[in-house]
C-alpha cells in the first residue's frame, strides 16, 4: 500500500508524526510526505520535523503565504502533477488548513481515495475559513477519522455514511504523550513560578486594530498580578509592529516556540489564554486551565469535559475568569475517551484492512 501524507501548517506536523510512525511498523506500506509550504517560517515548520523525528518531506511544493483563494489554487496546481506521478492508494490529509481542502479536492477529481484525520469537528461558524475547509473535506473524504463522539454526530447530521466514519481518538494527544517527558529538558531556568501563557493569531482577532490595542492594554493590567509569557505568532507580530503598539507591565515577548518548548510552557502554566484550536485540546489533557478568546469552538468536548472556557472577545469576562483561576477556583476537567496516545495505531489498523 502506498500512502501519501499532506502537511502544510504547524498543527499538521503533530498529527502526521504518530500516524507515520504507526504505519512504518506495518509490512508492505510505502509512505511519502508532501509539504505544501503553507507555513514556511523555520519556527513554524522545519523545527517541527526535527523535534518530532520526521524525516525531511519527500516533496515540498513551496507555496508560501497568499490570500485564501490564491494559496488554495496554487496548492492544487502544484499538487496535481505530484499525485499523477506517485499514484498513491490513499492520501491522508490532516486538520482544517487550506492545504487540507486543496489536496482533497485534487484527489477527488482524479479518483484517488482520501482519508481525513481529525474529521467531524464543527464550530458552526461559516465566517471561519477553517470551517469551510472542514465541511468540504469531510464531504470529499472516503475515510473520516474522528477524535471524539461529537464528530461522529456532526457527520451523521450531514448525511455522511457511517461506514466511512471511524472514531479513533486524538492523534495530537499521541504526540503529546510521547514528547511530554522530553519537554522537561527545555524548561527555561528563569521561568516564573506562576504565569499566564498567551497565544493569539486568528485574523478575526489580530486584524482588528482596536481590539488588539485593548488586548495589549489588558495584558499589561493582568501582568500586575501575574507575569505574562507571549510567544508571538508572525501574523500577530506584524500587526503589532504595523500599529506601533507596545505592551506594558511584565509581558515577556517571545519568538514562536518550538513544539517541545511550548509544551513545557503549557505544562507549567497557571492558565493559558488563546484563540488556537489545538491548544484547547492539549491543555485539557494536561489539566491546565484554558481561556479561549473566541465566541465558539469546533472542539466543544474541551468545554463540556475539559478545562476550557470560552470568554469570547470580552475583556471583562477574561479578567473575571482569570481571577477565578488565580483565586484557586479553576475549572476541573477530565480527559475525553480515546485520548490515550493510541489513536494512530487505530488509524493504521483501519488503513491496513482496506480492500
All three cell numbers of 234, joined, read 508572525
Q: Most confidently modeled of 33-37, 186-190, 209-213?
A: 33-37
Please check whether residue 36 is in contact with residue 77, taking contact to mean a CB–CB distance below 8 angstroms. Answer: no
- Mean pLDDT for 138-143 is 98
Beta bridge partners of residue 310, listed in sequence order: 292
User: Where do the domains of the chain lie, and which CATH numbers do they carry?
Assistant: 2-170+339-352 (3.40.50.2000), 188-326 (3.40.50.2000)
Chain segment 315-334, per-residue pLDDT in tens: 999 999 999 999 999 988 99
Q: How far apart are CA 347 and CA 315, in angstroms?
A: 41
- Mean pLDDT for 92-102 is 97
Give 42's pLDDT tier (boundaries 50, 70, 90).
very low
- Mean pLDDT for 136-149 is 98
Give 196's pLDDT tier (boundaries 50, 70, 90).
very high
- Mean pLDDT for 216-235 is 89
Q: How far apart are CA 334 and CA 347, in angstroms?
A: 24
Is 139 a residue whose pLDDT tops 80?
yes
All three cell numbers of 244, joined, read 506601533
Is 40 a residue whose pLDDT tops 70?
no
Give 46's pLDDT tier (boundaries 50, 70, 90).
low
Residue with cell 486524538: 170
Higher per-residue pLDDT: 9 or 305 = 305
DSSP conformation class of 162: G
Residue 187 backbone zone (phi > 0: left; psi -120 to 50: alpha; other: beta): beta
- For residue 48, what pLDDT is reported? 67
Of 133-142, 157-166, 232-241, the poorest mean pLDDT is in 232-241
Q: How far apart are CA 112 and CA 40, in angstroms?
A: 27
Q: What residues contact 344, with CB distance under 8 A and at least 6 apart?
A: 18, 19, 21, 22, 171, 174
Give Dmax (Cα) for the chain.
61
Please check whether residue 112 is in contact with residue 83, taking contact to mean a CB–CB distance below 8 angstroms. Answer: yes
Q: How far apart are CA 306 and CA 272, in angstroms?
A: 13
- For residue 90, what pLDDT is reported? 98
DSSP conformation class of 59: E
**Active site amino acids:** 201
Q: How far apart are CA 24 and CA 179, in angstroms?
A: 18
What mean pLDDT is reported for the chain? 92
Q: Which is nearest to 59 in space by CA: 37, 30, 74, 42?
A: 37
Q: Where are the alpha helices (DSSP H) in 87-162?
A: 98-110, 129-140, 149-157
Residue 310 has φ and ψ, to the nearest 5°, of -85, 125
- For residue 91, what pLDDT is reported? 98
- For residue 242, what pLDDT is reported? 79
Please check whether residue 276 is in contact with residue 291, taking contact to mean a CB–CB distance below 8 angstroms. Answer: no
Higher per-residue pLDDT: 305 or 257 = 305
Give 43's pLDDT tier (boundaries 50, 70, 90).
very low
CB atoms within 10 A of CB 162: 10
Please check whether residue 133 is in contact with residue 8, taking contact to mean a CB–CB distance below 8 angstroms. Answer: no
Is 246 a residue whose pLDDT tops 50?
yes
- For residue 41, what pLDDT is reported? 53
Residue with cell 472542514: 134
Please check whether residue 13 is in contact with residue 38, taking contact to mean a CB–CB distance below 8 angstroms. Answer: no
Give 248's pLDDT tier (boundaries 50, 70, 90).
low
- For residue 31, what pLDDT is reported? 97
Question: Would you say the C-alpha torsion 37, 38, 42, 48 has a positive or negative sign?
Answer: negative
Amino acid at each position: 500500500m502506498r500512502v501519501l501524507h499532506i502537511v502544510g501548517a504547524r498543527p499538521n506536523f503533530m498529527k502526521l508524526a504518530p500516524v507515520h510512525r504507526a504505519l512504518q511498523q506495518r509490512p508492505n506500506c510505502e509512505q511519502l510526505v508532501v509539504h505544501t509550504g503553507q507555513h514556511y517560517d523555520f519556527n513554524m515548520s522545519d523545527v517541527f520535523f526535527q523535534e518530532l523525528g520526521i524525516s525531511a518531506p519527500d516533496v515540498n511544493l513551496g507555496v508560501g503565504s497568499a490570500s485564501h483563494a490564491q494559496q488554495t489554487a496554487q496548492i492544487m496546481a502544484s499538487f496535481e502533477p505530484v499525485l499523477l506521478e506517485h499514484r498513491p492508494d490513499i492520501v491522508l490529509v490532516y486538520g482544517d488548513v487550506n492545504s487540507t481542502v486543496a489536496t482533497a479536492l485534487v484527489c477527488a477529481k482524479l479518483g484517488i481515495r482520501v482519508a481525513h484525520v481529525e474529521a467531524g469537528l464543527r464550530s458552526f461558524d461559516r465566517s471561519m475559513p477553517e470551517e469551510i475547509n472542514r465541511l468540504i473535506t469531510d464531504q470529499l473524504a472516503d475515510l473520516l477519522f474522528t477524535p471524539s463522539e461529537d464528530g461522529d454526530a456532526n457527520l451523521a447530521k450531514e448525511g455522511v455514511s457511517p461506514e466511512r466514519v471511524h472514531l479513533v481518538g486524538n492523534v495530537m494527544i499521541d504526540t503529546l504523550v510521547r514528547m511530554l517527558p522530553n519537554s522537561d529538558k527545555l524548561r527555561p531556568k528563569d521561568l516564573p513560578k506562576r504565569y499566564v501563557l498567551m497565544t493569539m493569531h486568528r485574523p478575526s482577532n489580530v486584524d482588528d486594530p482596536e481590539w488588539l490595542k485593548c488586548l495589549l492594554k489588558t495584558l499589561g493590567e493582568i501582568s500586575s498580578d501575574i507575569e505574562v509569557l507571549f510567544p508571538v505568532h508572525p501574523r500577530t507580530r506584524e500587526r503589532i509592529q504595523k500599529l506601533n503598539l507596545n505592551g506594558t507591565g511584565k509581558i515577556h515577548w517571545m519568538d514562536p516556540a518550538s513544539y517541545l518548548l511550548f509544551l513545557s510552557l503549557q505544562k507549567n502554566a497557571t492558565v493559558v489564554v488563546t484563540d488556537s484550536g489545538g491548544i484547547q485540546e492539549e491543555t485539557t489533557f494536561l489539566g491546565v486551565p484554558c481561556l479561549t478568546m473566541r465566541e465558539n469552538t469546533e472542539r466543544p468536548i474541551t468545554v463540556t469535559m475539559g478545562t476550557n472556557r470560552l470568554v469570547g472577545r470580552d475583556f471583562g469576562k477574561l479578567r473575571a475568569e482569570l481571577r477565578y483561576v488565580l483565586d484557586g477556583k479553576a475549572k476541573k476537567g477530565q480527559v475525553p475517551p480515546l485520548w490515550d496516545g493510541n489513536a494512530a495505531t487505530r488509524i493504521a489498523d483501519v488503513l491496513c484492512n482496506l480492500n
